[in-house]
Amino acid sequence: MLKEAIFSALSNNSIITAFLFVGVVTALSYWISNHMTNGKIHGSAIAITIGLFLAYIGGYVSEGDKGLADISIFTGVGILGGAMFRDFAIVATAFGVDLKHLKNAGMIGAISIIFGVILSFIIGAIVALMFGYDDAVSITTIGAGAATYIVGPVTGTALSASSEVIALSVAVGLIKSILVMIMTPFIAPYIKLDNAESAMIFGGLMGTTSGVAGGLAATDPELVPYGAMTATFYTGVGCLLAPSILFLIVNTLIN
């Protein structure tokens, strides 16, 4: 009876449960950060890693596609961590943005988006070739997945790729997004990711909004709006280039 009451209290108030969940994970992460790493690894980086780990367990247990959010008491985590609230919070971070920085880095930001899409696409396409894919549609779809996990399926659907290849392109994009979340805080000092301009380049090159959002949160929250600004254009540019020009180029090169 007690168990049922707890269960229904948590699952009937799912977003509230999510607030508590995130608070507990954050508190635990900062405790680990302070006591076990001497503050060397940022609390948010640990929190994001714990989140990803729980997402793996959630996916394993529930066999769903929303990580921990497929477990009924944690459905609120899926809402709180969904695109709607994520984007709302990203827009809010822009409140402290300095227009001067944006203007200075506007051009290089735009260049980095196009460069980023093409670079990711080429790397994805080469890996697809290495693993034995030899038709233009599959190579293009996997290359598109290396841009983001949205560009992959959009491109694959447009080119009528097989569902297996589309699933693979999503997996490539997911791996990219997860790696960007985890690795960014550690690599940031080596690539001078410490100012508005390099954050805009970073957002444009990586392009995965979740990856960039998570990676910058754990590096320096003040850089978030600059990286997010360019990253939010990336998926659109990818969906524009991959099924059209990039597919035509791959098709010509293959034949």
Token pair belonging to 19: 């607030």
CB of 172 to another protein, least distance (A): 5
- From the centroid of its chain, how far is CA 232? 11
Length of the chain: 255
CB of 219 to another protein, least distance (A): 11
Nearer to another protein by Cβ, of 3 and 98: the residue is: 98
Amino acid identity, position 113: I
Q: Name residues whose C-beta falls within 8 Å of residue 93's C-beta, 6 or more positions apart in sequence.
A: 221, 224, 225, 228
Q: How far apart are CA 26 and CA 218, in angstroms?
A: 12
- Write out the DSSP string of 121-153: HHHHHHHHHHTT--SHHHHHHHHHHTT-TTHHH
Nearer to another protein by Cβ, of 158 and 249: the residue is: 158
CB of 68 to another protein, least distance (A): 4
CB of 56 to another protein, least distance (A): 4
Phi/psi of residue 135, each to 5°?
Answer: -105, 145
Q: How far apart are CA 208 and CA 2, in angstroms?
A: 43
Angle at 205 between CA 47 and CA 67, to 5 degrees: 35
Q: Which of 237, 245, 250, 251 is nearest to 151 (CA)?
A: 237
Nearer to another protein by Cβ, of 33 and 232: the residue is: 232
Q: How far apart are CA 222 and CA 214, in angstroms?
A: 13
Helix axis angle for 99-130 and 224-241, nearest 10°, is: 50
Q: What is residue 82's DSSP assignment?
A: S
Nearer to another protein by Cβ, of 2 and 42: the residue is: 42
